[in-house]
Structure 1
């Protein structure tokens, strides 16, 4: 059994209210559309059946009218021939056909009224179905928009990660540069110390040579 038990339930249903209260509006709108489409198929089948019945009834009425006219002609012939008894019988048959025509015409009127009501119901159902499909399209657009926004955010997140990595790499590069400067300073400082020690050794040698030279001069 569908969510609608009768056709009037669909026509009187407040689709917007049903969807607002639904836990899963997208699923609910699909079920509503499915129910409406199935009901519309049933209405069309009913209409087709009664349209065929109307055509058959119309042909039957035409046949009865022809029969009544035929009996009327026969009654006229019988009167012309002086056979009032046959004319009377012919008129009785004509009246039977006319009575049947009137009864069938009443049926035809009722059938036409029913078909008009079916057509009106089908149009109202079509309007409801169009409304439901518009809501479904709106949900689809919202879903697509949400997916686009999600992808955009995912790309933004990836960009932020890449930017963070790039910043870290730049920071690491700066650290490497500072460390290199420290190492260069240390290396330069060591070389200066070695040079200073070598200079001291050179000074000592010069002093020794100077003392020896003084001594030699004094002795000479």
Structure 2
């Protein structure tokens, strides 16, 4: 039985709840960890591929930027030689390369975003795997006691209406001070 269909399933899983539903939580945990490790391997490969794509696009943009300088130099040379048509053609080619760079920069932005997303997912997967390994260690050290559910932290106390009013007044005084000094 497969526990996860997607990497996001690993990130969003409630390990304690999954184990609570199992007849043999310890062996289920071993299978879950194996699946997580496989997912982590795939995530690492995806991040590496995304990083190579970013590097390739940056290199390609740099190469095309040097071509722009070459076309500008060619246009100057042709213009100095009195050949306006050739200068115009060189500037036209420069514009084509500029348009290409603009498209590559959009692809670079998308590739960087993809790499960032995949890297974040990878770190989340690593955290889930670490959690599962800690749970397995707990099983191994205390076989008779099932893993305890994570205790939810209490939310921080919310400021009272009076505290909020004091914060607003303090911010207002700060703004008045800033406006008075400018």
TM range (shorter): 0.7 to 0.9
Counterpart secondary structure, 1:3: coil
Q: Shift of the alpha carbon at 1:103?
A: 0.6
Pick the structure with greater CA Rg. 1
Aligned twin of 1:71: 71
Q: What is the alpha-carbon distance in structure 1 between the residues aligned to residue 50 and residue 95 of structure 2?
A: 28
By percentage of residues, which structure has more helix? 1
Counterpart secondary structure, 1:143: coil
Q: Shift of the alpha carbon at 1:144?
A: 9.0
Matches within 5 A, 1:171-210: none
Question: Segments of 4+ in structure 1 off by > 3 A?
Answer: none
CA RMSD in angstroms, aligned pairs only: 1.5
Q: Shift of the alpha carbon at 1:61?
A: 0.7
Return 5+ residue gaps in structure 1 as ranges: 146-220
Aligned twin of 1:139: 139
- Could you give the per-residue CA deviations for residues 39-94 of structure 1, whole angstroms, max 9, x where no partner exists? 00001111111212222211111110001110011111111111110000000100
Indicate the structure whose relative CO is greater, using CA pairs within 8 Å and at least 6 residues apart.
2
TM-score w.r.t. length of structure 1 = 0.63
Q: What is the number of residues matched between the two proteins?
A: 145
Q: What is the alpha-carbon distance in structure 2 between the residues aligned to residue 86 and residue 75 of structure 1?
A: 7
Q: What is the alpha-carbon distance in structure 2 between the residues aligned to residue 121 and residue 2 of structure 1?
A: 20
Matches within 5 A, 1:58-207: 58-143=58-143
Aligned twin of 1:11: 11
Aligned twin of 1:160: none
Q: What is the alpha-carbon distance in structure 1 between the residues aligned to residue 63 and residue 143 of structure 2?
A: 62
Q: What is the alpha-carbon distance in structure 2 between the residues aligned to residue 2 and residue 73 of structure 1?
A: 62
Q: What is the alpha-carbon distance in structure 1 between the residues aligned to residue 135 and residue 12 of structure 2?
A: 17
Counterpart secondary structure, 2:142: helix
Q: What is the alpha-carbon distance in structure 1 between the residues aligned to residue 52 and residue 2 of structure 2?
A: 29
